[in-house]
């Protein structure tokens, strides 16, 4: 008999809800992917590089041209000069980058602090490394860090603190002051930071993304992870990257080379070309997605759902307590999908211990305008 290393892990809620949406013909606002394609020039570049013969292994660390473009972007947006050779690693997806970073840092008996609700890959990665996750709930309704609770949770076994900003599923943002407080808490301790910033360019209403890359003290002990898939509307390409100081990067690459070794070569060539030719793409993303957020929220304004507009990401939380307070959020997500034709994600799946009072589901607004209008019409009729 096989003894499972992850006995409590089953099929993810994202897969489950997408399957249910397909079975019922519902509009899928559950799983976080666009229903529109990436830029024409980017997709054309893939064909060009495939036909040019760029189909063999890229270097383990990633294509040099792409690492150089990442370094150029980081310098331009965050004012940090990173060495593309020693500090930038291209990975087959941000989730793989997160896994490798955790394996590089966490050992048997170590503790990693995560903030609930949190992305579902963090804890299994920690468990597989022999560590334990300490779950700290973010405060409601603003999804902020409870700093006293964090200070109390830090102990001699604390090895890693995982940040996520802009935050999935809430869309909340960390600010520069939050990073300063974290730095002060761990200044004299052997504790590292993993900063999941895959939605770095999806920040709205004139706010600024508070990247760990901007914070000199934290960056010296951090892995910063991002995603080309989120930025260029090509989530199926499963291509991401991680930036870290040279000593941390060296440890990450020891793991990465035996997990996947490298990412898909022609995709890396295409991304490098597109980043060089259209650097303004990332600057245009906030307005692009804010328009979708505002359309969706404006259409929902007359509904029975309650909400505060997301500050970041392409997710919008909605409170359904005025509609079916008798249903927990998992049942509500199924009810919405099966009875009203719109699939959502229950946020309790992002928690170790979900708050009993919460009646929230998450909708993805990375969709075409007609998709959002149809979904909002169905939700508004409830």
> How far is Cα of residue 75 from the mean position of the Cα atoms in its chain?
22
Contacts with 381 (C-beta within 8 Å, 6 or more apart), sequence order? 340
Residue 139 pLDDT exceeds 90: yes
pLDDT band at 125 (very low <50, low <70, confident <90, very high): very high
* Whole-number pLDDT of residue 357: 82
pLDDT at 322: 96
Give the pLDDT of residue 78: 98
Whether 1 shows a pLDDT value over 90: the answer reads: no
Q: Which band of pLDDT confidence, cut at 50, 70 and 90, is reported for residue 222?
A: very high
What are the boundaries of each domain within the chain?
A: 13-31+281-380, 40-277
The pLDDT tens digits for 313-367 are 999 999 999 999 999 999 999 999 999 999 999 999 999 999 888 899 999 999 9
Give the pLDDT score at 14: 84
Q: Render the burial of 293-331: b for 16+ CB within 10 Å, e for the rest.
A: bebbbebbeebbbbbeebbbbbbbbbbbeebeeebebbe
User: For the stretch 199-234, what's the b/e string if a residue is b when 16 or more beta carbons lie within 10 angstroms of its beta carbon?
Assistant: bbbbbbeeeebbbbbbbeebbebbbbbbbbbbbbbb
E strands, the chain, in order: 27-28, 88-91, 111-116, 132-137, 158-164, 192-196, 222-227, 240-243, 315-319, 342-343, 345-346, 360-364
Tens of pLDDT, residue by residue over 8-43, are 887 788 888 989 999 999 999 998 999 999 999 999
Tell which residue, 245, 213, 208, has the closest CA to residue 226.
213
SS3 57: coil
C-alpha 325, offset from chain centre = 29
C-beta atoms surrounding 155 within 10 Å: 10
pLDDT at 62 over 80: yes
pLDDT at residue 266 in the model: 98
Common-topology check for domains 13-31+281-380 and 40-277: no
Q: Mean pLDDT in the chain?
A: 96
Q: Express as a percent the part of the chain with pLDDT over 90.
A: 95
Class of domain 40-277 as given by CATH = alpha beta
Class for the domain spanning 13-31+281-380: alpha beta
């Amino acid at each position: 008999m096989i003894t499972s290393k992850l006995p409590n892990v089953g099929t993810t809620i994202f897969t489950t809800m997408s399957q249910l949406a397909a079975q019922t013909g519902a509009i899928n606002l559950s799983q976080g992917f666009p229903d529109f394609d990436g830029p024409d020039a980017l997709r054309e570049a893939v064909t060009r590089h495939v036909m040019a013969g760029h189909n063999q292994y890229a270097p383990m660390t990633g294509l040099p041209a792409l690492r150089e473009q990442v370094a150029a972007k980081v310098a331009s947006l965050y004012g940090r000069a990173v060495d593309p050779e020693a500090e930038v690693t291209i990975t087959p997806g941000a989730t793989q980058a997160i896994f490798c970073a955790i394996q590089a840092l966490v050992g048997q008996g170590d503790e990693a602090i995560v903030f609930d609700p949190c992305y579902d890959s963090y804890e299994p990665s920690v468990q597989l490394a022999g560590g334990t996750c300490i779950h700290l709930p973010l405060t409601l309704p603003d999804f902020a860090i409870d700093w006293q609770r964090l200070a109390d949770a830090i102990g001699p076994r604390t090895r890693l603190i995982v940040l996520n900003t802009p935050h999935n599923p809430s869309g909340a943002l960390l600010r520069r002051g939050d990073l300063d407080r974290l730095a002060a808490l761990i200044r004299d301790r052997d504790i590292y930071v993993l900063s999941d910033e895959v939605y770095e360019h999806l920040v709205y209403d004139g706010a600024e993304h508070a990247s760990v890359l901007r914070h000199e003290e934290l960056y010296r002990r951090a892995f910063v992870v991002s995603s080309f898939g989120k930025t260029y509307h090509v989530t199926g390409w499963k291509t991401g990257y991680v930036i870290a100081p040279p000593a941390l990067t060296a440890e990450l690459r020891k793991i990465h080379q035996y997990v996947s070794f490298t990412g898909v070569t022609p995709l890396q060539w295409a991304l490098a070309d597109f980043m060089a030719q259209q650097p303004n793409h990332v600057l245009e993303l906030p307005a692009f997605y804010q328009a979708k957020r505002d359309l969706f929220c404006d259409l929902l304004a007359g509904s029975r759902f309650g909400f505060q507009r997301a500050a970041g990401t392409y997710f919008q939380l909605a409170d359904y307590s005025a509609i079916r307070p008798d249903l927990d959020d998992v049942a509500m997500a199924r009810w919405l999908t099966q009875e009203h034709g719109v699939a959502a994600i229950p946020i309790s799946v992002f928690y170790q211990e979900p708050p009993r009072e919460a009646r929230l589901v998450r909708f993805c607004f990375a969709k075409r305008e007609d998709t959002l209008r149809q979904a909002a019409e169905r939700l508004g009729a409830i």
